């Protein structure tokens, strides 16, 4: 019995030690707008959000090919915008989403953080000679020191349907 009690005490001590280490180190996890958690594995300047203005549209009358537009911003825990991480890589990717399955990469836009800018206008257009589907999916990543710090949305990608005038949403 004494040995079993000793084991319990040792486990309790290890659990308390682990909790103290986690609290001391301050694990960086923020709450997303949807109430879930937004795991960020880097400094606050790597916590990205996509604004509610993302859209996938074209205008055949004016000869404008399908284009994804929107705003990507650095926004720790979704509370405010702050300056980007100097030298960090922020990238938005558009993939084919035919049959609601992420497929081939269609285009992307990469931005290098400068320590000043906190948001960027995204403009990814169908290249001449290509045909994009009526449904695409968008995601974004931030990388600091060649390691992914944040991914939005947290899993998968954000689907956008092709419209004649625009419309869409944001994701974090």
Q: How far apart are CA 66 and CA 52, in angstroms?
A: 19
Q: Is there a domain that residue 163 lies in?
A: yes
pLDDT recorded at residue 37: 59
pLDDT recorded at residue 113: 97
pLDDT recorded at residue 120: 95
Residues of the chain above pLDDT 90, percent: 53
- Which pTM was predicted? 0.72
Share the mean pLDDT of the chain: 78
Task: Kindly tell me if the per-residue pLDDT of 36 is higher than 50.
Answer: no
Beta bridge partners of 109: 92
Task: List the CATH number of the domain containing 115.
Answer: 2.60.40.10
Q: Is there a domain that residue 15 lies in?
A: no
pLDDT band at 12 (very low <50, low <70, confident <90, very high): very low
Q: Is there a domain that residue 105 lies in?
A: yes
Q: How far apart are CA 148 and CA 144, in angstroms?
A: 7
Angle at CA 156, nearest 5°, toward 142 and 71?
50
Q: What is the DSSP string of 1-12?
A: -HHHHHHHHHHH
Q: Is there a domain that residue 39 lies in?
A: yes
- Is residue 95 a contact partner of residue 141, using CB atoms and an 8 Å limit? no
How many domains does one find in the chain?
1
Q: Where are the alpha helices (DSSP H) in the chain?
A: 2-25
Domain range for residue 154?
A: 28-171
- Is residue 108 a contact partner of residue 91, using CB atoms and an 8 Å limit? yes
Q: Is there a domain that residue 3 lies in?
A: no
Q: How far apart are CA 140 and CA 142, in angstroms?
A: 7
Q: Is there a domain that residue 70 lies in?
A: yes
Q: Is there a domain that residue 18 lies in?
A: no
Q: Is there a domain that residue 153 lies in?
A: yes
Q: How far apart are CA 35 and CA 170, in angstroms?
A: 15
78 CB-near residues (< 8 Å, 6+ apart):
30, 31, 32, 33, 38, 49, 172
CA 31 to chain CA centroid, Å, is: 13
């Amino acid at each position: 019995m004494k040995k079993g009690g000793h084991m319990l005490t040792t486990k309790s001590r290890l659990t308390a030690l682990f909790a103290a280490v986690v609290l001391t180190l301050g694990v960086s996890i923020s709450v997303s707008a949807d109430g879930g958690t937004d795991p960020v594995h880097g400094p606050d300047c790597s916590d990205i959000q996509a604004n509610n203005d993302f859209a996938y549209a074209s205008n055949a009358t004016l000869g404008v090919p399908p284009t994804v537009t929107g705003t990507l911003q650095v926004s720790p825990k979704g509370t405010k915008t702050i300056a980007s991480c100097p030298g960090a890589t922020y990238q938005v990717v558009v993939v084919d989403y035919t049959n609601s399955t992420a497929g081939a990469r269609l285009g992307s836009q990469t931005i290098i953080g400068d320590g000043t800018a906190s948001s960027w206008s995204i403009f990814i257009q169908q290249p001449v000679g290509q045909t994009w589907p009526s449904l695409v999916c968008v995601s974004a990543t931030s990388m600091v020191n060649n390691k992914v710090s944040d991914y939005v949305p947290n899993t998968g990608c954000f689907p956008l349907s092709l419209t004649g005038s625009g419309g869409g949403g944001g994701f974090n």
